Amino acid sequence: MATPARFPDAYPPDGSGANLADILERVLDKGIVIAGDIRINLLDIELLTIKLRLIVASIDKAKEMGIDWWEDDPALSTGARRRELARENDELKERIAALESARSVETAESAAQQKRAASAKKEQEPTGVKKERESASAKKEQGAVADE
């Protein structure tokens, strides 16, 4: 009595062997993991360690295993690229708003300083100059009233 095989035969019983497409289909359907470490030592001093992990599987199988890093990589996904650009755009808008508000505050402070400086300059003028300026402005006002 023959016992049934636990796994299907990798090669068909007719001896034709498996072609590359069959092997690739099987690997992508089931997935394969290759792991290895490379260590370079000099006199028992570890100089370099490289840990290699390679997973070969279909996208559907990778998603079943919880692997989906390519969906968040801007270099590989247009959706991730759009999200990255939208985030960067929002950050730039916030920076522009902050700069504009700081500039408006600086402009208001500058105008107030100019008013204070002009007022201080008027107070420091000699009395004769003040009177001359006041009489000149009074004459202008009288001329304007007479013109009306």
CA 32 to CA 66: how far, in whole Å? 15
Q: Give the pLDDT band (50/70/90) at residue 94.
A: very high
The larger pLDDT score, comparing residue 59 to residue 46, is at 46
Q: What is the dihedral of CA 36, 41, 45, 48, to 10 degrees?
A: -50
Q: How many Cβ atoms sit within 10 Å of the Cβ of residue 30?
A: 11
0.75 exceeded by the pTM?
no
Q: What is the pLDDT of residues 101-130, one digit of tens each?
A: 888 888 888 888 888 887 777 677 666 666
The Cα 26–Cα 135 span in angstroms is 104
Cα 102 to Cα 94: distance, rounded to the nearest angstrom: 12
**Mean pLDDT of all residues belonging to the chain:** 77
Instruction: Tell me if 54 sits within 8 A of 33, measured CB to CB.
Output: yes
Instruction: Give residue 92's pLDDT.
Output: 93
Residues 29-48: tens digit of each pLDDT? 887 878 888 899 988 888 89
- By mean pLDDT, which of 8-12, 128-132, 133-137 is the weakest? 8-12
Per-residue pLDDT of 74-89, as tens digits, reads: 777 777 778 888 899 9
What is the average pLDDT across 63-81? 78
The tokens for 120 are 């201080």
Across 7-32, average pLDDT: 70
